[in-house]
Amino acid sequence: MTAPALDLGGVLIPTATPFDPVTGELDLVALRANLRRWLESGVLGVVLGGSTGEAVLLDDRERLASLEASRDVVPDDRLLVAGTGLESTRATIALTREAALRGADAALVQPPAFYRGAMTPAALRDHYRALADVSPIPILLYQVPLRMSTVEFPAGLVAELAGHPNIIGMKDSRGEMDKLGELVRQVPTDFQLLVGNGSRLFAALEIGAVGGILGVANLVPDESARIVRAFRGGDTGLAGRLQGVVGPLHTGIVGAFGVPGVKSALDALGFQGGLPRPPLAPLSDADRAVVEQRMRDAGVEF
């Protein structure tokens, strides 16, 4: 097996997006400050414009501005991945090209889902092939969590798309190990699978995933990244102990409270989380207290 053109073995942070508390505009100064702190850890890189980054609440101008502001903060030995999935093939291609011009190393592309009933395997296949044929950067499929407005990729379709030389991997956020195992069995060995569920990272590595794009890594980036490094180094005991820290934080904060919970936790940790963009509502004072207690219970200092 030849080495992949872009090695995804590790943990990437799908970064939260800070907004100015007065105007509601992107706060690019805060984003850059957060990135510098996150990148002090051992993470492989960052994803801008993912679900944790409130991508569906950003316009194209904002997505591209965040990439421009981030490229010189992200060093050459780390990855900058752009979320570029939109509802039309034409718009997805255009945004992916623009993201590449602004320095993105790869694109994470969620499936179009508004016309869900029409998104047959053939329609999805044609959508992703058309994108991959012309994209100047590699494409990662994104299986969005099924609780959100999305479609589910059949394993056979993923295996078919994995044969395209410019589709190099997939983020699977379902958190279902049997379905991940089916993907591992069907895709080529050089197709790189990542998980989006921070409570399943260690189990996913055992099955055959190479890493994760984890919302919880906004809060515990080094611990998340060390799970993969320890596993790859043969220290499964350490990997398991670290999973015991990361998993409850995923379940108790990311899973329980979503984006507002991540932002509240970031505020407590001294990052600039701030308010989510409406119609998402911030946590109540009581829920913020729960978030902080769950971090204390996990041994996170703030």
- Cβ neighbours for 250, distance < 8 A, ≥ 6 positions apart: 197, 198, 199, 214, 215, 216
Cβ contact 231:202 at 8 Å: yes
Tally Cβ neighbours within 10 Å of residue 59.
8
Nearest 5°: phi and psi at 209? -70, 160
Tally Cβ neighbours within 10 Å of residue 2.
5
Residue 171: active-site member: yes
Alpha-carbon Rg for the chain, nearest whole angstrom, is: 18
Whole-Å CA distances, 175 to 25, 102, 164, 180: 33, 32, 25, 8
Tally Cβ neighbours within 10 Å of residue 100.
18
Q: Which two tokens stand for residue 287?
A: 């829920």
Which residue among 63, 102, 129, 171 is the active-site one? 171
Catalytic annotation, residues = 171
